[in-house]
Structure 1
Amino acid sequence: MTQSANLKQLLTPHAARLQSSLQRIQGVELTPGSDADILLQALTAPDEQSVPIAHFEQEGNTLARGGGKLDTQLSELQAYFQALQTELQAIFAAEPSQFISMIGDLNHLQAELALAVTRGYQQGIEEQRNQNSHVNQRLEHRLDALQRINGVSNSATDLDQTLEFIAQVVAEELQADLCSIFLYDELQRVLTLRATNGPRPLGSMHFLLRLGEGYSGWVADKGRTLLHNDALTDPNYASEARAYGGEPYRGIMALPIIFFGSAERLIGVISVQSKQPRDFTPEEVNFVEVTAGTIALNIENGRLYEQTDEQLRRKVHELATIHRVSSIIASTLNLDEVLQIITTQAVHLSGAERSCIFELDPDRQRLHVLAHYGLNAKQVGKLQIKVGQCCAGRTVQTGRPNMAVDCFHADEHCFIHDDPMLSSEIHSVLCVPLKVKQKILGCICIYSSHRHLLSPEQMQLVITFANEAAIAIENARLYEETRRGLELKSVLLRELHHRVKNNLATVAGILSLQRRRTKSPEVRHILAESVNRVQGLAATHDLLAHEDVSEGRVDDIARKIVGVANANLSPPDKRISFQVEPCPIVIPSRAVTILALVINEMVSNAIKHGMADQQRGIVIIRGSEEDGNAIIQVIDSGKGPSTEHIEESAEGSSEGLGLSLIKHLIIDLGGRFSLRRGPLPIQPPAGQEPDQEYTIAEVRFPLRRGR
């Protein structure tokens, strides 16, 4: 903004006085290059032609990048201009026309600088957002690469194939020209090249390096990371850099592959090379370190697996299976799904063909089929077995596992006995009770076509699985019971709120009838306020009757109250518009009723007092959250209460019933109430002056979740 020569001529003689006023705001002398100093120089220095807008844009940009608050910067800027206006008013007290002209220029300058700061702040936020987005994308891409490496390490059995894949992924992720992986032979004490994503030395994979030879040998010997911008500058490193043929590699990052077990063991070396000099970043080093750790674990696991006999591998497989089954069961609380998982996985766990879950009836006399796998649904659908009969009944009766071979032919109580086709296919059965805290829920039976008993280890695995399955069934049942109980509670509470709403509506109707019959204006006015309060409570209970009874949104409550207050208290000859700003804050039901009464009183005061001498106006209801506190404001554009009234309100003296209600109610929520006059902190509504003052009634109380 170019300042007029006349304005500069008028302000320059008073530069020292204006400087003093700005110093009083800062509390210290003006620092050269500070906002206040630049502003003063632009207004008073003869050689300054305009205010450097770019400086204030950069201030906003720097503020955004540093995580500062825009409103703090704007408030500081406003304080500077307020101090200048105050000082100029005193200087030009005898020249009001000149003062008014300068104030107009200052206001225009203030708006332009505030816009510059805001514009720079928005640019900084956008730049930071773009930068964070770029970093997040890079991290997500790198995490995906690690997941692919980990996935192939856990699934592939061919070590060379796995290492080739890892070398390819690392080179692509780091945009390098070559990634090579050497494995260390402890007996021969040499490194052997096992994988690359590019050329192989001398066209062969049998490339050997001794400890200390080349950069890979150096890393293996020293056991630490090597970073080199240009390997060709070191003769020892250059030999390996040129070994791959063609153009030599220069930028080097090489890391040892070490397994950290009970004792550190060198597995090999992984190297990343580029044809141009390159400095690798710490993030890139970390990525390769994680990759090296994955390779070490993969190779060590392979070594242990090769040393393990068939029995140990079988046990590992069985344990992995039961762990997977337990994880699947624990991941859901749907009882039908849990039962289906149990019957299906029990078959896979034991190597059998069929399974069945029997549930003990409430009378604890009979068992019925709850779920099955591999059996005829019609056959087992209406099946009932007495406790003590058949393998399942005896297992429930004794509470111990029961295992038998070809018992179906002699046991006439067994349901398989009556099905010759099924009994010819099944030869052995294992029944395990489902117990939770010594309480038997039923049993699970596993049927196999093999004529052999399970080993003690296999049987213990099935028993462990059955115990976890019983807990899962019990949890699923408890969850269903709790869910049904909560649904019933919700329905009852909604019905309670509905009835309370109806009763309050009846009370409001009686009060309205009494108001119409009374001849006293004062009594009629009191009854009208009472009707409004009762109907506000009724509207709140109506809201709770249709929404989640455990909580309510602030803006929903405010809309209900505004509707009631507008209908009951707004004079027909006045045009009062209401604006409820969106506020997603959710408060517990205990506070909903209290807050409804508080908002009702604040809106009523705004209509009755704020709009007393106004034919039109606006009432804004706004909610926000700050440091765990809910802040609710009712703002009106009326003339508002006098300064004495605000002070008396703050002191608690000579207050009316409405203010007294607000203060006592908000104390119950651990909050406080305030009443003040001032400008809106944001852009005012359409039709309102930017510098217009508003009456702001505010309550602030802590949010106590779950109460």
Structure 2
Amino acid sequence: MTQGVNVEQILAPHLPRLKMSLQHAWDGHQGRENENDAWQLFQTLIGTQDHDESSLTARFEQVGRRLVTYDEKLDTRLQEIQSFVDAAATEIKHIFQEHPEELVTTLGYLYQLHNKSALALTRGFQHVVEQQARSTTHLTQQLEHRLLALQRVNGYSNSAMDLDQTLENTAQVIAEELNVDLCSIFFYDELQRVLTLRATNGPRPLGGMHFILRLGEGYSGWVADKGRPLHSNDALGDPNFATEARSYSTPYRGVMALPIIFFGTAERLIGVISVQSSEPREFTRDEVNFVEVIAGIIAINIENGRLYEQTDEQLRRKVHELATIHRVSYIIASTLNLEEVLQIITTQAVHLSGAERSCIFELDPDRRRLHALAHYGLNPEQASNLQIGVGQCCAGRTVQTGRPSMAVDCFHADEHCFIHDDPTLSSEIHSVLCVPLKVKQKVLGCICIYSSHRHLLSPEQMQLVVTFANEAAIAIENARLYEETRRGLELKSVLLRELHHRVKNNLATVAGILSLQRRRTRSPEVRHILAESVNRVQGLAATHDLLAHEDVSEARVDDIARKIVGVANANLSPPEKRISFQVETCPVVIPSRAVTILALVINEMVSNAIKHGMADVTRGTVIIRGFEEEDGYVAIQVLDSGKGPSAEHEQQEEPGESGEGLGLSLIKNLIGDLGGRFALRRETITRPASTKQGEQTSGETAEYTVAEVRFPLRRSRPTYALNS
């Protein structure tokens, strides 16, 4: 101790007691390490040989470093030292109570040693913590960098670039990340059992990109043959490895090579990744793991590419098959040319099934024999004379059973087969598939596919032929139904036109009788009533004449209106008045069930316009127009420029109250049978007028009386009931 001999002399007789007191102080703390620290401090305090302040500081710095290693807390150890110092200070105060100067010196030295010990302990602890922090930061940065490298490689694999460019970029990333001179990627050829160089990050071997290694040759060949990784500090030292190491302009010593293996249902070797350095080098486990992950990415990418090619080829084939079936279906739906449809079916059935010939047979009406409707690859003259009995040959048996059948080399033993008698054809054909043409369990014939292969068609090929058989059956049935329907429609159309013609003649006869009666009567009122009746009958006759000249039992609204206007103008228009009739274009087509009703309705509206609208005028205009509304209703209007309806007309009186009410009653009841309504109103209408140059002007605005009927275009058959 630096405080002098006097202090040591005072402490000497009390050392056992002091040791005992310190023993009690460290008994409360676990571990031999704590006791050693306390004893080291005590020995330095009493000045024991080989225990000085420098060794005490070194001792506590080492203890601080070990605290981090064993994951102990610094605060706990500092508290333990503080407990020892407090116990030592208590004893020293008791020992030196009669020597105050020495007490101050000894306690000061004790506290000085305590501070140095605590600082050394803390310094050692912080030094290791800082080292670990730097190491953790470096490791984190390295992992982040590795992760970014893996992301780059994965991005290349998922990009649209070609495979060679992807592999070259991958090799460049590996070389940069591991700081090696060269990275090479080889692919394994299963057929030739060799490795072919596909990509490097820089130097090419002496053989260029056509560098090939056999299994077991070089370190890459060794890895491919053994299927496990290889690490070598000096590849030049191994004669087998040196072959590949010296294949480059710069020999390489440090080598790490890993196999690229796809682990699916069965392990499959894809290739080898090799990284080389010109100097000897030990590769860490992290570096090996990094390359292994990239090898897995490459393996998955290659396998996905292979599966994509297979799937893409299958998809293209399926799309072609579906497109062909769709085209055939479209032709069936768009044309009724049976010969064209069946010829397309026979051609496409051959192409999609991989066969060479095909033929579609139709069952005769007597259901005893089959004849060829369409064929592909057969002699036209032979096919035109081909007759097969039901139950004979593959085609006849298929029609008889109603089930598909396949056979190989059946032509030689079947004397009823038409191929049996043709040596040239029988030598080229070996297998046949026959599928019945069925519609609603009714067999119409069959389709037969002939192939030169001595094997049966696959289920997929058979399903295609079945599909074409269904299309052919539909086409044949559609052609039959169309022909039957066409003949029926022609007959019905002729009969219907004849009916309309006869009805027109009968109505003309009735109109003639009424006209004769009108000329003989002397009563003006009776003459007027008969004139209206003649007009109505002649209107109906004109309508039936219109229907008698149409191909179908339909008529346009404007055609009906022109017929009615012609009759009404001739019968009802007074000679002293100048009435102009205008029928606007209206292409709405009315079915025959409503044409006669509509003709009567228009006739009554035109008659009312002439009789009532033009009663007190010498000239005027009557306009008939029609249009189809958005809700599916048809509106027909008769406009007249006369004085307008009377009050009783505006009130639309009930039928039967006057002569004028009869016309309105007819209109309302007739249009009611069509599910429509009648309205009569006064409107201000602006109609465009034409100049001499044909340009449209603003036109004139005038008051018109509008008689309008609205009814649905499609309705069940009317009852034709009149409520008088």
1:432/1:466 contact within 8 Å kept? yes
Deviations, residues 620-651 of structure 1 (Å, cap 9, x unaligned): 11223334332221111222433344225489
Amino acid paired to 1:680: I
Looking at structure 2, the residues matched to 502 and 472 of structure 1 have their Cα atoms a distance apart, in angstroms, of: 44
- 2:673 matches 1:694: no
What displacement does 1:380 show?
A: 1.8
What displacement does 1:560 show?
A: 1.1
What SS does the aligned partner of 2:636 have? Answer: strand
What displacement does 1:432 show?
A: 1.6
Looking at structure 2, the residues matched to 410 and 478 of structure 1 have their Cα atoms a distance apart, in angstroms, of: 40
Which of 622, 627, 641 is residue 645 of structure 2 equivalent to? 641
2:653/2:661 contact within 8 Å kept? no
Structure 2 matches for 1:219-230, cutoff 5 A?
Answer: none
Q: Structure 1 residues 372, 513: closer, same or farther in 2, change over 3 A?
A: farther
What displacement does 1:393 show?
A: 0.8
Residue 190 of structure 1 corresponds to: 155
Residue 357 of structure 1 corresponds to: 360
1:579/1:618 contact within 8 Å kept? yes
Which of 460, 463, 466 is residue 466 of structure 2 equivalent to? 463
Amino acid paired to 2:420: H
Q: Structure 1 residues 304, 688: closer, same or farther in 2, change over 3 A?
A: closer
Structure 2 matches for 1:227-626, cutoff 5 A?
Answer: 306-307=306-307, 316=315, 319-331=318-330, 332-333=332-333, 334=336, 335-547=338-550, 549-626=552-629
Residue 11 of structure 1 corresponds to: none
Please give the TM-score of this superposition, normalised by the length of structure 1. Answer: 0.54
Select between 634-643 and 384-393 the one with higher mean Cα deviation: 634-643
Amino acid paired to 2:581: F
What displacement does 1:367 show?
A: 0.9
Deviations, residues 292-321 of structure 1 (Å, cap 9, x unaligned): xxxxxxxx99986731686x7776565444
Looking at structure 2, the residues matched to 438 and 301 of structure 1 have their Cα atoms a distance apart, in angstroms, of: 52
2:688/2:698 contact within 8 Å kept? no
Looking at structure 2, the residues matched to 306 and 345 of structure 1 have their Cα atoms a distance apart, in angstroms, of: 30
Looking at structure 1, the residues matched to 353 and 478 of structure 2 have their Cα atoms a distance apart, in angstroms, of: 24
Looking at structure 1, the residues matched to 689 and 618 of structure 2 have their Cα atoms a distance apart, in angstroms, of: 19
Amino acid paired to 2:709: V
Amino acid paired to 2:639: I
Looking at structure 2, the residues matched to 208 and 606 of structure 1 have their Cα atoms a distance apart, in angstroms, of: 97
Structure 2 matches for 1:104-143, cutoff 5 A?
Answer: none
Q: How many residues align?
A: 426
Q: Structure 1 residues 494, 194: closer, same or farther in 2, change over 3 A?
A: same
Looking at structure 1, the residues matched to 516 and 172 of structure 2 have their Cα atoms a distance apart, in angstroms, of: 103
RMSD: 3.7
Looking at structure 2, the residues matched to 595 and 322 of structure 1 have their Cα atoms a distance apart, in angstroms, of: 54
Residue 703 of structure 1 corresponds to: 713
Q: Structure 1 residues 679, 575: closer, same or farther in 2, change over 3 A?
A: same
What displacement does 1:358 show?
A: 0.7
Which of 657, 662, 673 is residue 667 of structure 2 equivalent to? 662
Looking at structure 2, the residues matched to 185 and 513 of structure 1 have their Cα atoms a distance apart, in angstroms, of: 109
Deviations, residues 378-422 of structure 1 (Å, cap 9, x unaligned): 222232211011121111112222323343344332223333433
Q: Structure 1 residues 358, 315: closer, same or farther in 2, change over 3 A?
A: farther
Amino acid paired to 1:592: V
Q: Structure 1 residues 625, 460: closer, same or farther in 2, change over 3 A?
A: closer
Q: Structure 1 residues 404, 555: closer, same or farther in 2, change over 3 A?
A: same
- Structure 2: runs of 5+ lacking an equivalent: 1-148, 162-167, 174-299, 692-696, 718-724
Q: Structure 1 residues 623, 309: closer, same or farther in 2, change over 3 A?
A: closer
What displacement does 1:670 show?
A: 2.2
Looking at structure 2, the residues matched to 565 and 437 of structure 1 have their Cα atoms a distance apart, in angstroms, of: 56
Looking at structure 2, the residues matched to 636 and 209 of structure 1 have their Cα atoms a distance apart, in angstroms, of: 93
Looking at structure 2, the residues matched to 585 and 412 of structure 1 have their Cα atoms a distance apart, in angstroms, of: 66
Looking at structure 2, the residues matched to 533 and 208 of structure 1 have their Cα atoms a distance apart, in angstroms, of: 99
Looking at structure 1, the residues matched to 626 and 391 of structure 2 have their Cα atoms a distance apart, in angstroms, of: 67
Residue 671 of structure 1 corresponds to: 676
Which of 622, 630, 633 is residue 629 of structure 1 equivalent to? 633
Select between 560-569 and 647-656 the one with higher mean Cα deviation: 647-656
Deviations, residues 483-509 of structure 1 (Å, cap 9, x unaligned): 544444444333332332222222222
1:532/1:564 contact within 8 Å kept? yes
1:395/1:433 contact within 8 Å kept? yes
Please give the TM-score of this superposition, normalised by the length of structure 2. Answer: 0.53
Q: Structure 1 residues 534, 688: closer, same or farther in 2, change over 3 A?
A: farther
What SS does the aligned partner of 2:685 have? Answer: coil
Q: Structure 1 residues 671, 457: closer, same or farther in 2, change over 3 A?
A: closer
Q: Structure 1 residues 209, 680: closer, same or farther in 2, change over 3 A?
A: farther
Looking at structure 2, the residues matched to 524 and 589 of structure 1 have their Cα atoms a distance apart, in angstroms, of: 32
Residue 252 of structure 2 corresponds to: none
What displacement does 1:580 show?
A: 0.6
Looking at structure 2, the residues matched to 524 and 512 of structure 1 have their Cα atoms a distance apart, in angstroms, of: 9
Amino acid paired to 1:323: L
Which of 680, 683, 698 is residue 685 of structure 2 equivalent to? 680
Looking at structure 2, the residues matched to 499 and 325 of structure 1 have their Cα atoms a distance apart, in angstroms, of: 53
Amino acid paired to 1:643: A
Looking at structure 1, the residues matched to 703 and 401 of structure 2 have their Cα atoms a distance apart, in angstroms, of: 84
What SS does the aligned partner of 1:656 have? Answer: helix
Looking at structure 2, the residues matched to 503 and 373 of structure 1 have their Cα atoms a distance apart, in angstroms, of: 60
Looking at structure 1, the residues matched to 553 and 400 of structure 2 have their Cα atoms a distance apart, in angstroms, of: 45
Amino acid paired to 1:703: L
What displacement does 1:576 show?
A: 1.4
Looking at structure 2, the residues matched to 187 and 693 of structure 1 have their Cα atoms a distance apart, in angstroms, of: 83
Percent of matched pairs sharing the same residue: 75
What SS does the aligned partner of 1:432 have? Answer: strand
Looking at structure 2, the residues matched to 383 and 583 of structure 1 have their Cα atoms a distance apart, in angstroms, of: 57
1:192/1:206 contact within 8 Å kept? no
Amino acid paired to 1:392: A
Deviations, residues 595-615 of structure 1 (Å, cap 9, x unaligned): 110110111121222223332
Deviations, residues 501-550 of structure 1 (Å, cap 9, x unaligned): 22222222222233333343333322221121111112212222333645
